[in-house]
Amino acid sequence: MRCVCPSHPSTAGWFEGGPAGGRWRALQHLVTHTRLTLDMLEQLDLINRTAELAKTFGIDFYSVLSRGSQYRVESMVLRLAHTQNFLCVSPTREQVRGSRVGGWRGRGRRVVAGGCPHRTPVPSCARGWRAPVRVRRALIGG
């Protein structure tokens, strides 16, 4: 459906003109625009799908729309780790502030704490990184 979209100054002028100046016209435009937006949301089933994703990932509704896929994956990993009684360690705000943007720069491999020879500053078990014995014992409760 094609819809006439007048500029903001013209609709504001209609509204400020009072009943004789076309206030009804400005309100009619607003109602039409809102109805078309809601029809699009209903046609795309955006609300229901976003709510299902939020329930699945265990995050809030707005985060499904505004954050990236890494946030969703991390939320799933945290939920799975919690069911297995694992402790997930997060960096402090100072550590995040002190890290370089983009993670790794330069040539060759970068070695981070614990001996992880990968190019990312965050080691992961999927890449074969082994936590120090003290950390492993804390994670498994031994």
pLDDT band (50, 70, 90) for residue 1: low
Rg (CA), the chain: 26
Computed over every residue of the chain, the mean pLDDT equals: 76
When pLDDT is averaged across residues 38-44 and rounded to a whole number, the result is 93
Residue at token pair 């990993």: 77
Query: Does the pLDDT value for residue 40 go beyond 90?
Result: yes
pLDDT band (50, 70, 90) for residue 60: very high
